[in-house]
Amino acid sequence: MKVLVETHNLHKRFGGIHAVRGINLSVRQGEVLGFLGPNGAGKTTTMRMITGFLAPTDGTIRVDGVHVGLDPFQAKSRIGYLPEGAPCYPDMRVEEFLAFIGRARGFRGSDLQSRVERSIEAVHLQQVRKQTFETLSKGYRRRTGIAQSLLHDPPILILDEPTDGLDPNQKFEVRSLIRSLGRERAIILSTHLLEEVEAVCSRAVLINRGHIVFDGTPQAMDALAPASVKANRLDHVFRNLTTTEPAGTTK
Ligand code: ATP
């Protein structure tokens, strides 16, 4: 399958903080990549650089073959992005918000309308489409955020903690949705949950202090936590990995 996201030696510094230190990643169509790491590891910063919202200090990013730094408009047209917390205008109705985002993406008339309808159907928002964002449950807010990321039918989705704060039923639904979206796309999602990676992802990448420390299958990652460990298994995985040198390599 085609490589849709490629980063080469990606770095980001914020003043004295070296948040991302040489990330090399290559993600193919059909892959759902779970990005894991402790707080402050550099997940959001990496995702924001891939989406073109943050410029790298060093390194290059290509999405669907387009250089993000040199042609950000074309690059952004290939990416759907769900930022952390799924921000939205509180007094906009769901369908108004989606139409607003669609217009910002350059769609008009019947094309715009059919895109809004398709994205409402794709994430099952029919019953809340007339509700304002501030009256939605967290699950429906996240789904609205995912719906806006799908409006332009992008081959790449970047989802920052898509199930954060959802109840178990909502998590289950959003995960099923991500799995089905991932069949035709390349998806990168960040999470703090090992179970989420096992449920949704075909590949796991662990990042610590801006370095990749593991890149492999969820099953291989799982083997790093002894079966006897029931609670805080991700902490065990990290403890095992961070006592060794960073991998910092691609698959
Ligand atoms: P979390 O799991 O808590 O969301 P993360 O892995 O997404 O963490 P980042 O948000 O990428 O981590 O942060 C990486 C480091 O970069 C942190 O030390 C953070 O404080 C710093 N950082 C991120 N954004 C900025 C910014 N705009 N200005 C200064 N420092 C920043």
Each residue's pLDDT tens digit in the chain (251 positions)? 899 999 999 999 999 999 999 999 999 999 999 999 988 999 999 999 999 999 999 999 999 999 999 999 999 999 999 998 767 888 999 999 999 999 999 999 999 999 999 999 988 899 999 999 999 988 889 889 999 999 999 999 999 999 887 888 888 888 998 998 998 999 999 998 888 999 999 999 999 999 999 999 998 988 877 665 555 666 767 666 666 544 544 43
Query: Is this structure's pTM higher than 0.85?
Result: yes
- Residue 40 near ligand 1, beta carbon < 6 Å: yes
Please identify, by atom number, the ligand 1 atom nearest to the C-alpha of residue 192.
Answer: 2
> Which atom of ligand 1 lies closest to the CA of 210?
14
84 Cα nearest atom in ligand 1: 4
What was the pLDDT predicted at 53?
A: 92
Delineate the domains of the chain, giving CATH numbers in brackets: 1-78+155-211 (3.40.50.300), 86-153 (no CATH)
**Ligand 1 midpoint to CA 184 (Å):** 30
Quick check: 210 and 18 in contact, CB under 8 A? yes
* Cβ(37) – ligand 1 distance below 6 Å: yes
Cα separation, 32 vs 30, in Å, equals: 7
